[in-house]
Structure 1
Amino acid sequence: MRVSVFIPTYNAGDSWAKLLHALQQQSLRPNVFAVIDSGSSDATVQLAKDYGAQVLNIAQKEFTHGLSRHRLTESFPDNDIFIFMTQDAIPANNQSLANLVKAFNDNSVGVAYGRQLPRLEAGPIERQERLFNYPEVSSVRSEADIPKLGFKTIFCSNSFAAYRKIAYLESGGFPPKAQFGEDTILTAKIIKRGWKIAYVAEATVVHSHGYNLAEEAARYREIGKFHKRNLWLFDNFGKPGKEGFKLLFSQLWFVFKNNPFSLPLVPVRIANKWLAYKKGFSDKP
């Protein structure tokens, strides 16, 4: 299988060189490595070129998460598998790409995504959220799992995900107007067309964020807006509410065992996310 690696970039900062070096060490070398940059003013573009990347440009005013990624697939359409990463997701070892692509040995798999590990400096809440969403055991999901898993069936993250080109194209690709959640929208369409989604725990990247309360609120407000704009996801996969309760209890237990002094922060952060989400969901389109 021929493989492309695609990364949108903007002022990628200190982690960019680490990511590029880690890509260069992969046992599976991509047939195409391309980035699409939205006006970086630092060394992002030059570093990408130094490591052999082909570089596209997109104006900041034109940028969306859907359009930038779809433009990469249109510009480099020839390979069988499209791997998407974010500029701060660093492969954890030299088998990360190879392990992700192995999922496509199953011809029924249309999407695969890898495991995101917390940063070394991550606090207990940040660490637990990664462990909750990205467990140690791999799995494969399909439309048949919707009654049991609901909205979780279509969980995926473009921080480290791969799409079979045939499944990508027949499902319409990333929606160009999607400012957020382009991975969820496409995965949902691919699942509804009968393909499966593989979670590959052996394919690992280091990727997590130590958001403060304001940053967390901004993110969850965007999630609320995204869900309001895409109510068809609820119609087909149910609402994601149950996951919030699971996260709360899991987080309380994890923090109690690892850093009990942080326990008061757990309900504060959960409430902050919930209120921000409700605010976003109630905002006018």
Structure 2
Amino acid sequence: MEISIIIPTKNAEKYINNLIINLKNQTIKPKEIIVIDTNSKDKTKEICTQHKDVQFIHINDGEFDHGGTRNRAAKKASGDILIFMTQDAIPNNDKFIEELIKPLGKNNVVASYGRQLPSESSSELEKFARGFNYTNEDVIKSKDDIDKLGVKTFFFSNVCSAFIKEEFYKVGGFPEKTIMNEDMIIASKFIFNDKKTFYASKAEVIHSHNYTYIQQFKRNFDVGVVFADSGHYFVGIKSESEGVKFVKEAIRYLIKRNKVYLIPHLIIESGFKFIGYKLGSNYKKLPMKYVKKMSMHSFYFDKKDINKNKNKEEKEALADA
């Protein structure tokens, strides 16, 4: 099997050279690395073009779309397996690709995602969050797991993921014009089409964020928007219970490590997440100028405004005809 790796970038100078070198030094080497860059202002392009086996695609500001941009790069890929990475996810060892693709094609598994480990500089709560979402045990997920796992059945991450290309296109690739969570949406497509996804715990990357309260609010606002605009992919599935479970386990984690003083921080952060999610879920009832301020990806709503105006103009033109 031949492997194509796709990496969307934006001002990735800090990470991209290290990532490319790591990927080329894996036990299973990729056939090609495709970087699709959104008008970086730093040395991203210069670094990428120094690697002769890296294909560099430039797109303009305003063209980026979480699903659409990845689909655009996938059309250029010649491998039978597509691996998607984010620019700041660095393989933890040289068996990352080997472990990530190992389950594909077995037991009806068509897609896999890897384990994200926190960086040394991560906060205590970020370390817990990575361990909560990315355990040290493999998990195979199918339609049969919905009653037991709920929304976790569809948990999937494009930080590092792999797909059998033929199966990827059978479900139409990633959804386009979605604010985020294109990875969970494609996972739901597979699962509701009686396919399986796989969490490959031995496929490790270093990847974490130390978000502020406001950043957590904005990120979870956008998650709420996903469920408002793309809820048909998750019919009957509720996600709030997973948040309650996270808080309870985080409190136990902090007590066990004698970090009780961080519990107020956890409660405040969780409040920002919950309020953000609830507002995002109901964004259609809010004034658009505030919606854009609350979102981490405000360009999504700019595109919605453009499409709304186009539709209005088309209706007016038909009425005048």
Equivalence for 1:231: 231
Distance 1:36 1:253 in 2: 42
Equivalence for 1:266: 266
Q: What do residues 158-215 of structure 1 show as CA deviations (whole Å, max 9, x unaligned)? A: 0001111121111011122123111111111111111110000000000000001111
Equivalence for 1:73: 74
Give the residue type in structure 2 aligned to 1:59: N
**Shift of residue 227, structure 1, vs aligned partner:** 0.8
CA contact (8 A) 2:254 2:262 kept: yes
Give the residue type in structure 2 aligned to 1:149: L
Distance 1:251 1:262 in 2: 10
Which residues of 2 match residues 26-175 of structure 1 at below 5 A? 26-51=26-51, 52-76=53-77, 78-106=78-106, 108-175=108-175
User: Taking CA–CA contacts closer than 8 Å with sequence separation of 6 or more, which of the two structures ends up with the larger relative contact order?
Assistant: 1
CA contact (8 A) 1:123 1:210 kept: yes
**Shift of residue 107, structure 1, vs aligned partner:** 5.1
Distance 1:211 1:170 in 2: 36
**Shift of residue 266, structure 1, vs aligned partner:** 0.8
Distance 2:182 2:140 in 1: 20
Distance 1:241 1:111 in 2: 26
Equivalence for 1:219: 219
Distance 1:278 1:188 in 2: 22
Q: Percent identity, aligned pairs only? A: 34
Unaligned runs of 5+ in 1: none
Equivalence for 1:244: 243
CA contact (8 A) 1:89 1:206 kept: yes
CA contact (8 A) 1:167 1:195 kept: no
**Shift of residue 275, structure 1, vs aligned partner:** 0.4
Equivalence for 1:192: 192
Q: Is 2:250 the partner of 1:256?
A: no
Give the secondary-structure state (helix, strand or coil) at the position aligned to 2:48: helix
CA contact (8 A) 2:22 2:94 kept: yes
**Shift of residue 105, structure 1, vs aligned partner:** 4.6
Give the secondary-structure state (helix, strand or coil) at the position aligned to 1:239: coil
Aligned length: 283
Distance 2:206 2:148 in 1: 30
TM norm structure 1: 0.96
Distance 1:233 1:105 in 2: 24
Superposed CA RMSD in Å reads: 1.3
**Shift of residue 149, structure 1, vs aligned partner:** 1.1
Distance 2:151 2:279 in 1: 20
**Shift of residue 129, structure 1, vs aligned partner:** 0.3
Distance 1:60 1:157 in 2: 24
Give the residue type in structure 2 aligned to 1:200: A
Equivalence for 1:201: 201
Give the secondary-structure state (helix, strand or coil) at the position aligned to 1:21: helix
Q: What do residues 222-246 of structure 1 show as CA deviations (whole Å, max 9, x unaligned)? A: 111111001213315x111211111
